[in-house]
Amino acid sequence: MSVPNPAPIKPVVSHPLNVIVATDCGSTTTKAILIEKVGDAYRQTYRGEAPTTVEAPFEDVTRGVLNAIAEIEELSGRKILDGDQIITPCRDAKTGVDIYISTSSAGGGLQMMVTGVVQNMTGESAQRAALGAGAIVIDVLASNDGRLPHEKIERIRTMRPDMILMSGGTDGGAVTHVVEMAEYISAAEPRPRFGATYKLPLIYAGNKDAQPQVKKILGEKAALVLTDNIRPVLERENLAPARNKIHDLFLEHVMQQAPGYKKLIEMAGAPIMPTPAAVGVIMETIAKREHLNLIGVDIGGATTDVFSVFEGLFNRTVSANLGMSYSISNVLAEAGLANIMRWVPFSIDEQTLRNRIKNKMVRPTTIPQTLDELQIEHAIAREALRLALIHHKSLATALKGIQQERTISDVFEQQQSGKTLIDMLKLDLIVGSGGILSHAPRRVQSMLMMVDAYEPLGVTRLSVDSIFMMPHLGVLSTIDEKAATDVFVRDCMVYLGTCVAPIGQGKNGERCADYVITFPDGRVDKGQLAFGDLRLIPLAGDQKASIAIQPVKQVNLGAGAGVSITREVQGGVVGLMLDGRGRPLQLPTDHAARVAALTKWYSAVGLYPTAS
């Protein structure tokens, strides 16, 4: 089973941290933020960004870091740089910072290949270990993956991962298959992506009895590291040791090879974390602190990361080719045109839309200038978010292939092992991050994009990362939890509000549920929610209201069909959204009816300027 994210070793910081500069070196942009202690609390005060400089002609990631920090210098009037050095610690009120920290996903992030014996058992465990450590898994090889041995070898040869994680077999079990995989890897002589001369880091986390053979076969050919089995027994996953090794090797090997990272590591006062690992730390911290089940998403230009914490279990997946710029055309390819068009409240011919999407792909830094273009991008985002969650659900599962104890009540359920852990009815909070969600011109746009894509059930709270600073806060939390929490609560997390969505279907206009909302000032709002209604009720971020809902007999709000519920709901910058569109959400198939429905909904919540 999945385990908490391993945090890097805490660095010793001898001086008080009053001024902190943090960067995230993304694949295209390096984002810097300045955090300062104002009174008793830490606040994020300035922000700067510059193009990332991992690749030619610069080939030195620190150039982009210094440029982004220089922008903060300009804006804040604080002198932070002395040539290409960061002044630490603070010399006076306007000179230097107490620490510099960073995360990185530049150069394509950490790309790993994992191997297992049985694809949906040790193969999946290895995949979860790598993903949880912030990697992009470029392939999962398993003895039963359906590929012929020579095809496996060809595959290992042609991919150039940064690292390989080998798993397979329970401790004390048969060694044959895992040794066979080691032989394939050895025959393929895999080479790393960066640096022609260094050995590829390879972690072996399989059956401990096979360690001597694996060492014999691969010891000379790779930088082999042996660690505890990630699946010591079938019923238990032990991912932490492998994840820790991935982090160590990422810093010791991969980062050392990437252009300029040696310098970056020296500049930083804490270990550099892979960006998704840092975001994972933050998501897990929120879930733990508030005892919540949550889903977090970071939708970027190239990839979409999904994080979840359910009943304390952390999982992360990355959909490597779902994104809003570089990968926008792949969203079209995977979702299909009809699925994107269903969210667009006007007519556009297929050829024009396809050409527009491809033009965004080849010029990924452009932004929508007209409202139509914005609505098309929001439609694509809904599909990218939806597909990434489907991917996440398929991997965030209970362990597969294990014996289950069944009671008499389970006999008729025929539930298979490996059921997804994502239960939308138990979901408390959705956290959105990434350009399209963080920078949407109206916050209600972010909220509805997530509601449409995820179709939350019952009562669910939603929030967004204000300006994309979760990675920075993730790494900060490893050295100063108070500073990270202060900034997270005050400047990072923007609570959008709460969505109340009954489960069930009905004819448009028919009664779905009756509700009574009691506001903090004692005011009471009684109303009826009809099928096909989308309603927005203002409720400020610092306010809580009580909502009592009586659904009609075929409708469920989590307590059972026709059973009423009473809940305390939290407001937000958007408010309380009552979603009577039904679950699963079904849009009219007829074009004119669909456009009319979308126009009605978008107008009801004031989604776009013309609809307000």
Q: Is 193 in the site for another protein (CB under 8 A)?
A: no
Q: For another protein, which is the closer residue by CB, 157 or 511?
A: 157
Q: From CA 571, how far away is CA 517, in angstroms rounded? A: 12
Q: Is 374 in the site for another protein (CB under 8 A)?
A: yes
Q: For another protein, which is the closer residue by CB, 48 or 96?
A: 48
Q: Is 89 in the site for another protein (CB under 8 A)?
A: no
Q: List the interface residues with another protein, window 494-513 (CB under 8 A).
A: none
Number of residues this chain uses to bind another protein (CB under 8 A): 68
Q: Is 10 in the site for another protein (CB under 8 A)?
A: no
Exposed/middle/buried for residue 420 (C-beta within 10 Å: 0-12, 13-18, 19+): middle
User: Shortest distance, CB of residue 135 to another protein, whole angstroms?
Assistant: 18
User: Shortest distance, CB of residue 354 to another protein, whole angstroms?
Assistant: 4
Q: List the interface residues with another protein, window 325-354 (CB under 8 A).
A: 326-327, 329-330, 332-334, 350-351, 354
User: Shortest distance, CB of residue 194 to another protein, whole angstroms?
Assistant: 13
Q: From CA 579, how far away is CA 457, in angstroms rounded? A: 10
Q: For the beta carbon of residue 525, count every other beta carbon within 10 angstroms.
A: 13
Q: Is 361 in the site for another protein (CB under 8 A)?
A: yes
Binding mask 111-150 for another protein (x = CB under 8 A): --------------------------------------xx
In 3D space, the residue among 287, 313, 494, 290 whose CA is nearest the CA of residue 392 turns out to be: 313
CB 328 within 8 A of CB 360: yes
Q: Is 54 in the site for another protein (CB under 8 A)?
A: yes
* CA distance from start to end of the chain: 47
User: Shortest distance, CB of residue 250 to another protein, whole angstroms?
Assistant: 18
Q: For another protein, which is the closer residue by CB, 52 or 62?
A: 52
Q: Is 70 in the site for another protein (CB under 8 A)?
A: yes
Q: Is 257 in the site for another protein (CB under 8 A)?
A: no
DSSP 106: G
Considering only residues 77, 93, 146, 196, which one is a binding residue for another protein as defined by CB under 8 A?
196
User: Shortest distance, CB of residue 609 to another protein, whole angstroms?
Assistant: 6
The stretch near another protein (CB under 8 A) out of 36-44, 181-189, 201-209, 482-490 is 181-189
CA distances from 199 to 195, 257, 262, 341 (A): 9, 11, 17, 48
Q: For another protein, which is the closer residue by CB, 354 or 526?
A: 354
Q: DSSP characters for 296-316?
A: EEEE-SS-EEEEEEETTEEEE
Q: DSSP characters for 481-498?
A: HHHHHHHIIIIIEEEEEE
Q: From CA 79, how far away is CA 229, in angstroms rounded? A: 49
Q: Is 51 in the site for another protein (CB under 8 A)?
A: yes
User: Shortest distance, CB of residue 371 to another protein, whole angstroms?
Assistant: 6
Q: From CA 364, how far away is CA 314, in angstroms rounded? A: 32
CB 355 within 8 A of CB 271: no
How long, in residues, is the chain?
612
The stretch near another protein (CB under 8 A) out of 49-57, 483-491, 546-554, 584-592 is 49-57
CA distances from 595 to 341, 348, 398, 533, 534 (A): 10, 12, 40, 15, 15
The residue type found at 324 is M
Long-range residue pairs from 368-372, CB within 8 A, at least 24 positions apart, any chain: 371/608, 371/609, 371/610, 372/346, 372/348
Q: For another protein, which is the closer residue by CB, 276 or 551?
A: 276
Considering only residues 9, 348, 367, 402, which one is a binding residue for another protein as defined by CB under 8 A?
367
Q: Is 209 in the site for another protein (CB under 8 A)?
A: no
Q: DSSP characters for 396-430?
A: SBPPSS------GGGTTT-PPSS-BS--TTT--EE
Q: Which helix (H) or strand (E) segment is 176 a member of?
A: helix 176-188
> Residue 302 half-sphere exposure, CB side, CA atoms within 13 Å?
11
Q: Is 609 in the site for another protein (CB under 8 A)?
A: yes
CB 112 within 8 A of CB 135: yes
Token readout for 286 is 């929120």
Q: In three state form, how does the secondary structure of 539-557 look?
A: CCCCCEEEEEEEECCCCEC
User: Shortest distance, CB of residue 363 to another protein, whole angstroms?
Assistant: 5
Considering only residues 171, 180, 428, 514, which one is a binding residue for another protein as defined by CB under 8 A?
180
Q: From CA 80, how far away is CA 74, in angstroms rounded? A: 10
CA distances from 182 to 146, 169, 210, 234 (A): 18, 13, 10, 21
Q: List the interface residues with another protein, window 12-31 (CB under 8 A).
A: 27-28
User: Shortest distance, CB of residue 583 to another protein, whole angstroms?
Assistant: 30
Binding mask 267-306 for another protein (x = CB under 8 A): -----------------------------------x----
Q: Is 525 in the site for another protein (CB under 8 A)?
A: no
Considering only residues 39, 40, 57, 146, which one is a binding residue for another protein as defined by CB under 8 A?
57
Binding mask 418-447 for another protein (x = CB under 8 A): ---------------------x-xx-----
Considering only residues 6, 96, 107, 432, which one is a binding residue for another protein as defined by CB under 8 A?
107
β-pairing, 135-142 with 313-319?
Answer: unpaired
Q: For another protein, which is the closer residue by CB, 71 or 514?
A: 71
Q: By 3-state DSSP, what share of the chain in percent is helix, strand and coil, each rounded to 5?
A: 35, 25, 40
Considering only residues 14, 347, 369, 586, which one is a binding residue for another protein as defined by CB under 8 A?
369
Q: From CA 421, how far away is CA 392, in angstroms rounded? A: 10
User: Shortest distance, CB of residue 576 to another protein, whole angstroms?
Assistant: 23
Beta-bridge mates of residue 546 = 518, 568
Q: Is 172 in the site for another protein (CB under 8 A)?
A: no
Q: For another protein, which is the closer residue by CB, 378 or 581?
A: 378
Considering only residues 256, 321, 564, 599, which one is a binding residue for another protein as defined by CB under 8 A?
321
Q: For another protein, which is the closer residue by CB, 222 or 239?
A: 222
The stretch near another protein (CB under 8 A) out of 50-58, 78-86, 466-474, 597-605 is 50-58
Name the residues that contact another protein, by CB under 8 A.
27-28, 48-52, 54-57, 67, 70-71, 74, 106-108, 149-150, 153-154, 175-176, 179-180, 183-184, 187-189, 191, 196, 213, 302, 321, 326-327, 329-330, 332-334, 350-351, 354-359, 361-371, 373-374, 439, 441-442, 609
